[in-house]
Amino acid sequence: MAHPEITVLMTVYNGGAYLKMAVESVLKQTFTDFEFLIIDDCSLDQSRETILSFKDERIKLIKNEINLGQTRSLNKGLALAQGRYIARIDADDFVFSSWLEKTLALLKAQPLTAVVSCKAIVVDEQHKIRKTLRTGCCYAQMVLRSLTATPLNHVGALYKVDVISSVGGYDETFKIAADFELWSRLIRRRIQLACIDEPLVAIRVHAKSESMIQRGQIDMIEISEVMKRNFDVLIAFEISRPEIELLWKLHYATIQLSAVEFQDAFMLLCKAYRTMKAEFAVSSDAVEAFIAHQKKVFYAKRALGQMAQGQLPQLRVLAKDYCKTEGWLNLLSLVWLGTWLGKPALRNLPIIYERWRGWIARKKLPHQVYSECVR
């Protein structure tokens, strides 16, 4: 029997209520030449029974003898895969019907590219669309983004098995940042990545998801380690561990920074963007555009954190500082005005902002994708 072109790889540990929908979404793909390799990592719930309820010969269920964790299970799947390409999905997420067809078409159209991913929407426990993940789709944006965060969505990624195997697969010392580490390793070796500017997958955020369970100190340790490796290779100046920790807080815990630390961290990151080594071929125009985008992101994150903690004087200074350099025709000008009206005027702004993001995400979804999402 000929090998399938693609291996869809899923790891499962207590897949629960969302597993059935995840499996169904894979089996409904318009591209059909795939095997569906599912690694059950010693689930204690009904995950195995749920998977076996599907009578589809493309499903290959492997049960670990002991709990290996997701990263080691992914490497096991990488070794067992029969396809030339591996496509990734998690047990609590789901994919849209054209996912494999579109990612494979782009990967084949770009022979030097090793990985193709896509944009993703975020849904909650009630299946409500919350936002679209804003991942960059040009290679320069991916390189710049890799200094502080994963440059591609792992869920939805399609990659060449031989290339990923040749660089050693997933690093098993990482439990929750293995995807960030893998994509970063490829970038440091100047291996090409690509992203489709269209949401083809839905990532579910809920309290029992694997990534949420393992958040905490391990998150900072692993992400900081990948950041340090990337800075050491991509940037033309040496950066210290305390500076890496400062940049981690800028991206993931900005409210923990003082006003001076916030400004210092942002200026340090701008310096890093502007001193990218020439061999990574990021133009000055791309750098400046990315800095402008990141400034909006970091100021917005900090403003939301200060609103949540009722820090009105600090919030007023932050909003004024942004508007003095970027102009007053933006959301932070309304925040600045709200600080003078008192906390009640700002109380509902984060909720309004979250609803607005969800509305924008729904509005931009193609009709076919939206219909699959709200089923």
Asked if residue 215 has pLDDT above 60, the reply is: no
Apex 357 CA angle, 351 and 359, nearest 5? 100
Lowest mean pLDDT among 126-135, 155-164, 284-293: 126-135
Domain coordinates of the chain in residue numbers?
6-215, 271-363
- The larger pLDDT score, comparing residue 211 to residue 179, is at 179
Q: Which fold has domain 6-215?
A: Spore Coat Polysaccharide Biosynthesis Protein SpsA; Chain A (3.90.550)
Asked if residue 208 has pLDDT above 60, the reply is: no
Reported confidence tier of residue 134, pLDDT bands at 50, 70, 90: confident
- The larger pLDDT score, comparing residue 70 to residue 372, is at 70
Reported confidence tier of residue 206, pLDDT bands at 50, 70, 90: low
Query: How many Cα atoms sit within 13 Å of 365 on the Cβ side?
Result: 27
| Mean of pLDDT values over 33-53 | 96
pTM, two decimals, is 0.91
| Mean of pLDDT values over 7-22 | 93
Phi, psi for 361 (deg, rounded to 5)? -60, -45
| Mean of pLDDT values over 42-59 | 94
pLDDT digit string (tens) for 335-366? 888 888 777 777 777 777 778 777 777 777 76
pLDDT of 212 reads: 43
Amino acid code (one letter) for 175: K
Buried b (16+ CB within 10 A) or exposed e, 32-69: eebbbbbbbbbbeebbbebbeebeeebbeeeebeeebb
| Mean of pLDDT values over 159-187 | 96
